[in-house]
Structure 1
Amino acid sequence: MRRFAIPVAACLLATALSVPALAQDKPVELRFGHWVPPTHPMHVAAESWAESIRKASNGTINIRIFPAQQLGKAFDHYNMARDGIADIAHVNPGYEPGRFPIIGASELPFLFANSKQGSAALDAWYRKYADREMKDVKYCLTFAHDPATFHTVNKKVVVPGDVKGMKIRPANATIARFVSLLGGTNVQASAPEARDVLEKGVAEGITFPWGSVVLFGIDKVTKYHLDSQFYVTEQTWVMNKAKYESLSPSQRKVMDEHCTPEWAETIATPWATMESAGRDKIKAQPGKEVYPITAEQLAEWRKAAGPLKAEWEANVRKAGHDPDAIFRDLQDELKKRDALY
């Protein structure tokens, strides 16, 4: 019997070595904080993403999702990931004017034709630049909501001059600047707080995507809806850097494989579908005015938005980067994926 001892031991050793590294990884739970309600399609997409990660890691990475600002205010989510309050956070970079100048290019009006292929293009573009302005977190991915527009309470906005004197809740820093250029006043409020400021008369209008107008109840307090594609708002998922680095190599590989342009498009798609459907829902409601603009009026809007790009270029140049190359790179990615406006 002794002559079989060595082969059996060798066989057992070989079997042990052949077990995937993931099976030996220490289980970890990651806290994922975001600020939309659990009924939002982004939340559902996040759940699918988390489940895919769980399966790919052989159950060693479990992600617990905290929706609806449970871990902190929408404006704070980048800092929450940086400081470890959340291990993963959903960030709207446009909520913090001046902090992330490069990604602000995605907020410029009349750039994105859609947010499905557009999100894949956005992520493929920005992941080349993320380390320049998000170096204190681990960048995962970026996507965008469907192109959005103006929704107002008592006054139609048809041409840029109509914004003068109005109080508008803007979507992001770039649109806030646009409102200011047009002579309006900005009312800062996160998406979950938007209906309240409109209902109380603190704001007279909002820039928002169509489906979210319905989801957040904003259709209950607005009457006029400008039927034109103006802008998108970028949404970024980031990780706490120390938490990412504490994962095993195989677990980090799983996370990296779920932080890609393909996943950005997958996550954006159900949200885009919801937003697009919102337009018809609003049109079907009694007392609503959903109105188009003419080609001449669109040209007027484009001209009015011109200074925004010049200001973006100045901000990026001030931060030490080449805005011409960066913007050309974004346009090329959008065009390559058939998502350029």
Structure 2
Amino acid sequence: MNMKSLKTLALAGAVAATTFLSGSVAGLAQEVTLKMHQFLPAQANVPKLVLDVWAKDVEEASGGRIKVEHYPSMQLGGTPPQLMDQAIDGTVDIIWTVVGYTPGRFPRVEVFELPFMMTNADATSRAYWDLFEKEMKDTDFKDVHIIGTWVHGPGMIHSKTPVNGLGDMNGLKLRAPTRIITGLLGELGATAVGMPVPAVTEALSKGVIDGCVIPWEVTAALKVPELVENHTEFGGDHALYTTAFVLAMNKERYESLPDDLKKVIDDHSGQEFSAFAGRTQASADGPSKQIAVDRGNNIITLGDEEVARWKEAAQPVYENWIKEMEGKGIDGQALIDEARMLIDKYSKM
């Protein structure tokens, strides 16, 4: 081989090497690590059955170019009420939280937490997403990118003394998850004690509260069946209450993604994901309830006549909320009417 051929070969090799290295750097530049932060232990139902599943699906759909690091139990610092601000300011990339942990900050969401509003978690989560897109995306949640909106299964009462009827609520100190439920418990005669759900176990064991309102699914992780003996469910088509959640992403982080990775996030966001999350969370109610049954705990189900009394007692919650919304320039009655219409529509599907 002559000198000219050697030089040509060397030049070709250099170009190939440069192209390879450039391609590798470009490939590396497209790899994204997203930190996901939330308040429950990793083994709890939502982290295990919803958040980890979502993260795995996103990673696989991106061909490994997106990596989701899951930090449970507030491992990155702060308290559950600070999660939304962590997503807004970019302290973390993604958060899952109870919207009501910051009372009054996201007023339109509260329509789904009004008493006896929800039917089941699938239908109500679908309705929540629809109303989010129409009424909340550019108002309540304008500072974050929302991935999913959902609610848990029927909320109920878990107490140290039996709640067989409305009169048994008088004087009970019950943990409340949100501002709306705090108001509801007050109208029903109880004393509401607000706290994030991870605090329930210690509060029950130390006698700070006499019980709590939570769905069945989280009772196992909180050891509630070991700390109380009575559980009151509500008959009929509508639950006593539910709690609204969001899976939210830092807006700038989302917008900084290349279009194909944005599409991966988009494909794993929206109504279907929200319905999956709500439905999956609610599906864990049965196994958790069985723990209480196996312990011989007292399972109470209120009939239609008694539930009607609770609904009547809860009516001021609606009236007060509508008045508060008017003060914020929001048509609360219109939100109630639309939420009911949407929930009814999806409940019939």
Flag whether TM exceeds 0.5 (same fold).
Answer: yes
Give the letter aligned to residue 328 of structure 1: D
**1:57 aligns to what?**
62
Change (3 A) 1:24 1:249: farther
Provide structure 2 residue ranges, at least 5 long, that are not aligned to the other structure: 1-25
Q: Of the candidates 169, 190, 194, which is equivalent to residue 188 of structure 1?
A: 194
Give the letter aligned to residue 112 of structure 1: M
Q: Which one is further off, 251-260 or 104-113? A: 251-260
Alignment of 1:163-242 (within 5 A): 163-228=169-234, 229-242=239-252
* CA-CA distance at 1:318 after TM superposition: 2.0
* CA-CA distance at 1:56 after TM superposition: 2.4
Give the letter aligned to residue 63 of structure 1: V
Report if the CA contact (8 A) 1:82-1:240 is conserved.
yes
* CA-CA distance at 1:55 after TM superposition: 2.5
In 1, the alpha carbon distance for the partners of 2:164 and 2:100 equals 25
In 2, the alpha carbon distance for the partners of 1:116 and 1:110 equals 16
Q: Of the candidates 293, 296, 302, which is equivalent to residue 293 of structure 1?
A: 302
Q: Of the candidates 31, 34, 40, which is equivalent to residue 35 of structure 2?
A: 31
In 1, the alpha carbon distance for the partners of 2:279 and 2:187 equals 33
In 2, the alpha carbon distance for the partners of 1:250 and 1:24 equals 15
Query: Equivalent residue of 1:227, what SS?
Result: strand
Q: Of the candidates 130, 143, 148, which is equivalent to residue 136 of structure 1?
A: 143
**2:155 aligns to what?**
148
In 1, the alpha carbon distance for the partners of 2:101 and 2:195 equals 9
Alignment of 1:92-107 (within 5 A): 92-107=98-113
Give the letter aligned to residue 253 of structure 1: K
Alignment of 1:248-287 (within 5 A): 248-286=258-296
Give the letter aligned to residue 148 of structure 1: G
In 1, the alpha carbon distance for the partners of 2:92 and 2:271 equals 23
| Greater Rg over alpha carbons, structure | 2
**2:338 aligns to what?**
329
Change (3 A) 1:271 1:120: same
**2:326 aligns to what?**
317
Alignment of 1:303-314 (within 5 A): 303-314=312-323
* CA-CA distance at 1:265 after TM superposition: 1.5
Change (3 A) 1:167 1:244: same
Provide structure 1 residue ranges, at least 5 long, that are not aligned to the other structure: 1-21
Give the letter aligned to residue 320 of structure 1: G
* CA-CA distance at 1:118 after TM superposition: 2.6
**2:97 aligns to what?**
91
Q: Of the candidates 81, 86, 94, which is equivalent to residue 80 of structure 1?
A: 86
**2:20 aligns to what?**
none
For normalisation by structure 1, the TM-score amounts to 0.87
Report if the CA contact (8 A) 1:166-1:204 is conserved.
yes
Report if the CA contact (8 A) 2:166-2:188 is conserved.
yes
**2:163 aligns to what?**
157
In 2, the alpha carbon distance for the partners of 1:50 and 1:339 equals 31
Report if the CA contact (8 A) 2:35-2:93 is conserved.
yes
Q: Of the candidates 240, 244, 247, which is equivalent to residue 257 of structure 2?
A: 247
Report if the CA contact (8 A) 2:188-2:314 is conserved.
no
Report if the CA contact (8 A) 1:163-1:183 is conserved.
yes
* CA-CA distance at 1:152 after TM superposition: 0.6
Report if the CA contact (8 A) 1:92-1:236 is conserved.
yes
* CA-CA distance at 1:339 after TM superposition: 6.5
* CA-CA distance at 1:205 after TM superposition: 1.1
* CA-CA distance at 1:185 after TM superposition: 2.1
Cα RMSD for the two superposed structures = 2.1
**1:43 aligns to what?**
47
Moved segments of 4+, more than 4 Å: 22-25
In 2, the alpha carbon distance for the partners of 1:295 and 1:216 equals 30
Tell me the number of residue pairs that the alignment of Structure 1 and Structure 2 aligns.
Answer: 318
* CA-CA distance at 1:142 after TM superposition: 0.6
Query: Equivalent residue of 2:139, what SS?
Result: helix
For normalisation by structure 2, the TM-score amounts to 0.85
The alignment status of 1:112 with 2:118, answered yes or no, reads yes
* CA-CA distance at 1:87 after TM superposition: 0.6
* CA-CA distance at 1:188 after TM superposition: 2.3
Report if the CA contact (8 A) 1:23-1:58 is conserved.
no
* CA-CA distance at 1:278 after TM superposition: 2.2
Give the letter aligned to residue 252 of structure 2: A
Report if the CA contact (8 A) 1:150-1:208 is conserved.
yes
**2:71 aligns to what?**
66
Q: Deviations over 1:210-241 (max 9, x none)?
A: 12112210111111111213111111111111
Query: Equivalent residue of 1:292, what SS?
Result: strand
* CA-CA distance at 1:25 after TM superposition: 6.3
